[in-house]
């Protein structure tokens, strides 16, 4: 059975779905591997590195897509779907809630696994979690990108010409990306504040040296939030909490030098966290980086792939796909996640065997045997 690694063709996508390390594992497990020429170049993996571990280099996408198993970062486009042979297995990040081509995958009888649908509450799924591995790097890089646009240093300096105050940074959304952003900003010497709809995130923020932007909660809301945290489901706060949080966040953001927003909701547009009237209160030279710009944006006025300077001198950065800016490392982590998942499908005959009783495989499967299994609702 053959595994194909095509080059990514989406603009700005520099990652690759396999590395020499994972290719070697596939070959050891009894699979042939073909890699499209140049697939790893943007991730600092030349063709020779793949050849050295036993992969065959093919010089067009059609040859890579003529494989039994296709490994990608981004889901194949309509153009690429036409190249995939009927009945193949495709493993990628499909963005299933917004992908318009899911029916086309089913029509070609493809078995497709969407890695971002991984049930993250399962402990054995942790080494397959592409969202966590990529978000970790995105949180780190987001701080560096914002720092590059900010015209002052992060740490406090004591100089003969005067004292330089530390940068004040607000992180909105304390998931994997937000926590790494806090840690990175603190290491660079900034004063960091953070907020999240989950009050249970307070301990995580403070453990990294950040200040939690506290919002008063009723006893009922505290109990609901506690239950939600235990079950792994999102907590929906009451209107009073949302109103109180908005006031506190508005004050913190207005006084911040840098704001990084990370809030995403699967299947929905990103929540609007910062409105234009709040941006208008910020001082000239401040920077906002919107990590959710591809899905509608957390910040009013953010534009994909643009840095907008407002009338009052605030820079709003709409930077999509931040992990691709660390292509070498993000590819290595992603490739490991892919191997750890797909190896659960390997059988002794050198093929693939889907196990409908496996919670992880079942959760990730979006098309099979001509059927579209994923429900966007």
List 95, 124, 207, 233, catalytic entry: 233
Phi then psi for 18, rounded to 5 degrees? Answer: -145, 155
Bridge partner residues of 34 (DSSP): 4, 56
129 belongs to the catalytic site: yes
pLDDT at 228: 61
Phi then psi for 54, rounded to 5 degrees? Answer: 110, 0
Q: Is 343 strand, coil or helix?
A: coil
Q: Is the whole model's pTM more than 0.85, yes or no?
A: yes
List 68, 97, 120, 361, catalytic entry: 120
CATH class of 2-129+326-368: alpha beta
pLDDT at 226: 72
**Nearest-10 crossing angle of helices 327-342, 130-149:** 170
pLDDT at 235: 59
Give the integer Cα–Cα distance in Å for 46 and 38: 7
pLDDT at 262: 95
98 belongs to the catalytic site: no
Residue reference for tokens 């020429």:
37
pLDDT at 300: 95
Bridge partner residues of 164 (DSSP): 157
Give the integer Cα–Cα distance in Å for 198 and 124: 24
pLDDT at 267: 78
- Length of the chain counted residue by residue: 377
pLDDT at 120: 78
Tokens of 236: 């929906």
List 31, 36, 129, 134, catalytic entry: 129
Given a cut of 50, the residues of the chain with pLDDT beneath it are 232-233
Q: Which CATH architecture has domain 150-320?
A: 3-Layer(aba) Sandwich (3.40)
Q: Is 113 strand, coil or helix?
A: strand
List 21, 56, 95, 126, catalytic entry: 126
Tokens of 153: 């240093």
Give the integer Cα–Cα distance in Å for 322 and 313: 24
Domains 2-129+326-368 and 150-320 equal at CATH topology level:
yes
**Nearest-10 crossing angle of helices 176-187, 130-149:** 40
pLDDT at 234: 52
- The structural domains of the chain, with segments of one domain joined by +, span 2-129+326-368, 150-320
pLDDT at 33: 98
Phi then psi for 371, rounded to 5 degrees? Answer: -110, 145
């Amino acid at each position: 059975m053959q595994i194909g690694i095509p080059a990514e063709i989406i603009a700005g996508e520099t990652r690759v779905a396999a590395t020499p390390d994972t290719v070697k594992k596939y070959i050891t497990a009894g699979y042939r591997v073909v890699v499209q020429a140049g697939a790893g170049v943007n991730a600092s993996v030349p063709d020779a590195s793949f050849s050295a571990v036993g992969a065959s280099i093919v010089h067009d996408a059609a040859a890579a897509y003529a494989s039994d198993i296709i490994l990608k970062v981004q889901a194949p486009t309509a153009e690429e779907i036409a190249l995939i042979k009927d009945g193949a297995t495709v493993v990628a990040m499909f963005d299933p809630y917004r992908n318009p081509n899911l029916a086309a995958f089913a029509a070609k009888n493809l078995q497709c696994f969407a890695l971002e649908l991984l049930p993250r509450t399962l402990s054995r799924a942790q080494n397959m979690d592409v969202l966590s591995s990529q978000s970790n790097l995105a949180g780190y890089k987001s701080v560096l990108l914002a720092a590059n646009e900010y015209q002052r240093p992060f740490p406090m300096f004591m100089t003969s010409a005067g004292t330089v105050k530390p940068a004040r940074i607000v992180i909105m959304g304390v998931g994997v990306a937000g926590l790494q952003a806090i840690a990175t900003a603190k290491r660079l010497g900034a004063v960091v504040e953070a907020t999240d709809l989950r009050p249970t995130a307070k301990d995580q923020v403070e453990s990294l040296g950040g200040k939690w932007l506290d919002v008063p909660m009723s006893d009922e809301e505290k109990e609901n939030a506690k239950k939600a945290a235990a079950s792994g489901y999102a907590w929906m706060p009451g209107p009073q909490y949302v109103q109180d949080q908005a006031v506190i966040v508005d004050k913190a953001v207005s006084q911040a030098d840098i704001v990084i927003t990370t809030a995403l909701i699967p299947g929905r547009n990103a929540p609007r966290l910062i409105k234009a009237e709040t941006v208008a209160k910020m001082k000239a030279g401040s920077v906002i980086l919107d990590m959710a710009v591809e899905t509608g944006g957390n910040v009013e006025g953010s534009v994909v792939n643009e840095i907008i300077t407002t009338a009052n001198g605030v820079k709003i950065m709409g930077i999509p796909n931040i992990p691709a800016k660390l292509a070498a490392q993000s590819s290595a982590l992603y490739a490991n996640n892919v191997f750890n998942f797909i190896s659960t499908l390997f059988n002794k005959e050198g093929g693939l065997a889907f196990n409908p009783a496996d919670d992880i495989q079942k959760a990730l499967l979006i098309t099979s045997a001509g059927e579209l299994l994923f429900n966007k609702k």
